Structure 1
Amino acid sequence: MNADLKREREQASFDVLKITHMFDGGKAATDRRRYLERVIERDPTDIFSNDDNHYLHRTERHVRATAKHVRLVEICRKLGIGKECGGELCESDDFYFLLDAVADDLPTALHWVMFLPNIKTLCDDEQQAKWLPLCRDWKVIGCYAQTELGHGSNVRALETTATFVPESKGGKKGGSFVIHSPSMTAAKFWPGTLGRTANHAMVIARLIDGEGVDRGIHNFIVPLRSMEDHSLLPGVKTGDIGPKIGYNNMDNGFAYFDNVEIPRRNMAMRFAEVDENGKYSKKHVSAAASKVAYITMMQVRAMIVMGSSKALAMATTINIRYSAVRKQGYNEDGKTEVQVLDYKQQQHRIFPLLAASYCFFFSGRKLWDNLKKIEHKLISKKPVTKVQVADIHATSSALKSFNTMVAADGIEECRKACGGHGFLASSGLPELMCSYLQSPTVEGDNHMLPQQVVKVLLKLVQAVQSGEGVDAYTTCDSYSLVPSLKALFSGQREKCLAVNKTDMKDLPTLLLAFRHRAAMLLINVAKQLNDDVMNGKSMQEAWNYALVAMAKSSKAYSLFLLLRNFMEGIMEEQRSKLLGRAEVSVLGDLARMFALYWMEKDIGDFIHDGYLTAKQASWVAPNVLEFLDAIRPNAVALADARDLSDFRLKSALGRYDGNVYPHILEAAYKDPLNSVDPGPAYDPELKRLITGGVGVYSGTASRL
């Protein structure tokens, strides 16, 4: 154990294991997770080893990652994991513990992330009875094929067609759909698992009914490959789209359909159907059922929000441990080297990201729990309003947009803050960064989602302004904004009540400031839209001009929610007695660090309408520095509390034992480029250059 890391851990003011239990959901959950991690790390086949990942060709990585999935399923069946779910492995919590333990991207991921949820929410009972057992037994491996070469988030512009053909005109018994890509830009492009792994796809296509009427976008289960030998089926052309910045184990693919015929019942028919004669009709399904479908798909976004916390936790753990070991410069005595972690600039770069990783955990957990509560209410036939569903959509959109931006930028900041060694693949940070970079785009582009957030919140603004319909929001996240919205509309001037620098550390005081800022920017968007329309712009044009303001408004709302959820989460853990006073205190320091850091970054918003005075604003930056000091003694312990094993981190810099330099060299020795001497490029290339085999300029030959 490195002496510096040992000392860092000994000076911690709290019980690390208590916070680990908090993240896992209790001691029993921690014990179970650790057991499952050991199963993976000690697997006798050694298939899960990540030691040589950096030196493998992409094809080799893809094949090995597929082998990891196969072995994972084998282990689960051997241990009985998933048996409690009737064999539905993807319904088991243990399965997701194991996925985290594998610490590598699996090409099969879209099967459980998107394909299965679509079947469960959009297919009727008879269809589920057919397809789910095939998925359970891994005979069917699916993906979700929406995005096309020419269109992504603009779903209405998708070109792929599904045209009904009755049995009387050559269709299959009971009628068929013909799936077709009418142009080059209609090719499905980007779906994960599509390229080489999936044998079925949930294809999003325009339904053309028996009367030739375009009924818009619907879902269709399309076989891609034989379930016997995995060969492509007639009319289907799929492949991998090629190397990406990262996430290259995954075979993101393209698919082109040339009049591919599928049975009529391969259309997902829970909410609409086409009968044997080609007649289209909407089904009389309860509003609750359609909301369940929507909420279930929204859970994918909640998983992304939770993933932002995990990704930042990995990056900050690597950086903090390395910064405690790495030394640069000397103390005043001129003899003792200074730990990089002692430099205020390093702390200012990393500690706010550490705080964010904790903060994001509480909001991710709350979002997931709220979605599950709504889902349970709907299944139990308890009332859930459209307002409530729209509001949680706004919450998930806001958090997805902001969290993934911070996490992606934060991982790169952690890499840069490791200096030159952070540029090494063996640091673990480049692959973490490159694999995570998909997150700001997937499931809603971060620059598009703020529109959806603000569109929902503007209805609350209208309700507050008119005084009608506000009660519909009482159980919603956005209802927390109502006091500030009312004050702003009534002409009352909300002001920060802090009278000194100490007051500006008070969490309730800080939360009120973030609430005011969120409400103020939201009203500004509403006013800008109204003014532009009154001055002759169309609503579409006015909306376009307001997009920049909407992005700011969505960010402000996200930060308000994040801070509120952080504070509430700490109080809940305190009430549960899971955490003691010391743990609550250090979490409070992180919450204050998070709030003050983002207030300092956006200080102009807080003083814009006089909420903060110039004097109050001047206290923010010094308080940030104070909390850097407060967090410093606990930094390594706070990173340790995430309980990320060396196997999962895959980092020479972030090892638990702190023995950084031997492991950097060990990784270098493993490079295949070092396997022969004088090196694979010497003969014939370098040899020819050095020995004059490329010729010389006349009269300039050296005399060595």
Structure 2
Amino acid sequence: MEMYKKMTDGLNKGEAGLGIEQCRMACGGHGYSEASGLPKVYGGVIAGCTYEGENMVMLQQTARYLMKCAKRASRGEPLSFSVEFLERKTAGRLRVGMDEGNPEQEIENLLSSLEHATRRLISDASSEWDKRVSMGESRERAWNGVTVEMNRAARVYTRLFIAHSFHRRVISSPSAIRPVLTDLLSLYLHYECVDMAHHLLHDGHCTGDQIKYLKKRLYEDLVKIRPNAVSLVDSFDIPDRQLNSVLGRRDGNVYEALFEWAKNSELNYTDVLPAFRHIKQMMEENRAKI
């Protein structure tokens, strides 16, 4: 379980870093300023990817575990809850869109498709490793030869683990907030499936039209969540002092706060910077030599 925590924490920090960078660019020049608080938040979050070991090392640890589980599944041995999907038969065609009007079944279909992609990547990596060993390579050399595929399988598995954890938390949430959280879960799963479309298309699990449908549902989810977006962010209840951002203030007085921040900046303590008198003297001396 500790390995899952480290792996998911590392992946979440990386995704959070990308999200912060997108927010910074969306704020234009103000996002680049320290007044936004985003540069400091980015520096703190992105460092989390390597606090307890560089992500590639943890990906390899996860891949080794997955290869062992794949062998156990092939022998019919019991597996832990996090990898029990390896025991299930590979899903046929993608069922997304076939149960429209039934959001619970739609979510199950999305999770099934993520499981399908993860199962295939793990199986392909394991098969390639076994093939190299059978051709006479040492297990270590064979492993190094399929490291890229192993890492890819570990990354997709981690995303599946997060999706399952998200789903379990939503279905066990209080009924008053479950509809909004279900919308969030739907958005997350549609995004993940669209982002991994190449894996779903690879073996004919889905068609191009189905990927278009997933994108359409993704945009519909964004429209549904928009009215609740501010409330969802405020639900974290992060105080202004901790956020330390003129752009994310609770009262929304962004430009007034930005002006106050600029006035209190060390660069604006005086109308003319003290160093200018030295520059002025140098300019006058050089002008006299012309």
What TM-score do you get using the length of structure 2 for normalisation? 0.92
CA shift in 2, pair 1:620/1:662, >3 Å: same
> Which residue of structure 2 aligns with residue 406 of structure 1?
15
Amino acid of the residue matched to residue 82 of structure 2?
D
> Which residue of structure 1 aligns with residue 199 of structure 2?
605
RMSD, aligned CA: 2.1
> Which residue of structure 2 aligns with residue 55 of structure 1?
none
SS at match of 1:573: coil
Q: Which has the higher contact order (CA 8 A, sep 6+)?
A: 2
> Which residue of structure 2 aligns with residue 440 of structure 1?
49
CA shift in 2, pair 1:587/1:572, >3 Å: same
> Which residue of structure 1 aligns with residue 124 of structure 2?
524
Q: Distance in 1 between matches of 2:116 and 2:4?
A: 18
Q: CA deviation at 1:696?
A: 7.1
The equivalent position to 2:159 in structure 1, one of 559, 571, 580, is 559
SS at match of 1:437: helix
Alpha carbons 2:93, 2:205 under 8 Å: kept: yes
- Where structure 2 has 5 or more consecutive residues not aligned to the other structure, the ranges are none
> Which residue of structure 1 aligns with residue 83 of structure 2?
478
CA shift in 2, pair 1:401/1:543, >3 Å: farther
Larger mean Cα displacement after TM superposition, 418-427 or 679-688: 679-688
> Which residue of structure 2 aligns with residue 681 of structure 1?
275
CA shift in 2, pair 1:565/1:584, >3 Å: same
Q: CA deviation at 1:503?
A: 7.0
Q: Distance in 2 between matches of 1:567 and 1:553?
A: 21
- Where structure 1 has 5 or more consecutive residues not aligned to the other structure, the ranges are 1-391, 699-704
**Pair 1:466-2:75 in alignment:** yes
Q: CA deviation at 1:437?
A: 2.4
> Which residue of structure 2 aligns with residue 693 of structure 1?
285
Q: CA deviation at 1:480?
A: 3.6
SS at match of 1:560: helix
CA shift in 2, pair 1:620/1:459, >3 Å: same
Q: CA deviation at 1:565?
A: 1.3
The equivalent position to 1:638 in structure 2, one of 229, 232, 244, is 232
Alpha carbons 2:14, 2:46 under 8 Å: kept: no
> Which residue of structure 1 aligns with residue 65 of structure 2?
456
> Which residue of structure 2 aligns with residue 595 of structure 1?
189
CA shift in 2, pair 1:497/1:682, >3 Å: same
Alpha carbons 2:37, 2:243 under 8 Å: kept: yes
Amino acid of the residue matched to residue 562 of structure 1?
I
What TM-score do you get using the length of structure 1 for normalisation? 0.39
Amino acid of the residue matched to residue 135 of structure 2?
N
Amino acid of the residue matched to residue 523 of structure 1?
S
Q: Which has the higher strand share?
A: 1
Q: Distance in 2 between matches of 1:639 and 1:525?
A: 39
Q: CA deviation at 1:697?
A: 8.2
Q: Distance in 2 between matches of 1:525 and 1:396?
A: 23
Alpha carbons 1:401, 1:450 under 8 Å: kept: no
Amino acid of the residue matched to residue 443 of structure 1?
E
Q: CA deviation at 1:524?
A: 1.0
Q: Distance in 2 between matches of 1:537 and 1:504?
A: 50
Correspondence 1:122-137 to 2 at 5 A: none
Q: Distance in 1 between matches of 2:150 and 2:289?
A: 65
Q: Distance in 1 between matches of 2:73 and 2:102?
A: 29
Q: CA deviation at 1:482?
A: 2.2
Alpha carbons 1:503, 1:509 under 8 Å: kept: no
Q: How many residues of Structure 1 are paired with residues of Structure 2 in the alignment?
A: 288
> Which residue of structure 1 aligns with residue 25 of structure 2?
416
Greater Cα radius of gyration, structure 1 or 2 = 1
Correspondence 1:329-340 to 2 at 5 A: none
Q: Distance in 1 between matches of 2:197 and 2:289?
A: 65
Correspondence 1:19-418 to 2 at 5 A: 392-418=1-27
**Pair 1:627-2:243 in alignment:** no
CA shift in 2, pair 1:503/1:619, >3 Å: farther
Q: Which has the higher helix share?
A: 2
Deviations 1:31-71 (A, max 9, x none): xxxxxxxxxxxxxxxxxxxxxxxxxxxxxxxxxxxxxxxxx
**Pair 1:664-2:258 in alignment:** yes
SS at match of 1:644: coil
CA shift in 2, pair 1:553/1:504, >3 Å: farther
**Pair 1:648-2:231 in alignment:** no
CA shift in 2, pair 1:509/1:671, >3 Å: same
Amino acid of the residue matched to residue 682 of structure 1?
F
Amino acid of the residue matched to residue 117 of structure 2?
R
Q: CA deviation at 1:597?
A: 1.0
**Pair 1:425-2:34 in alignment:** yes
Amino acid of the residue matched to residue 17 of structure 2?
A
Alpha carbons 1:600, 1:621 under 8 Å: kept: yes
SS at match of 1:398: helix
The equivalent position to 1:494 in structure 2, one of 81, 87, 92, is 92
Among the aligned pairs, what percent are the same residue? 28
SS at match of 2:270: coil
Alpha carbons 2:70, 2:86 under 8 Å: kept: no
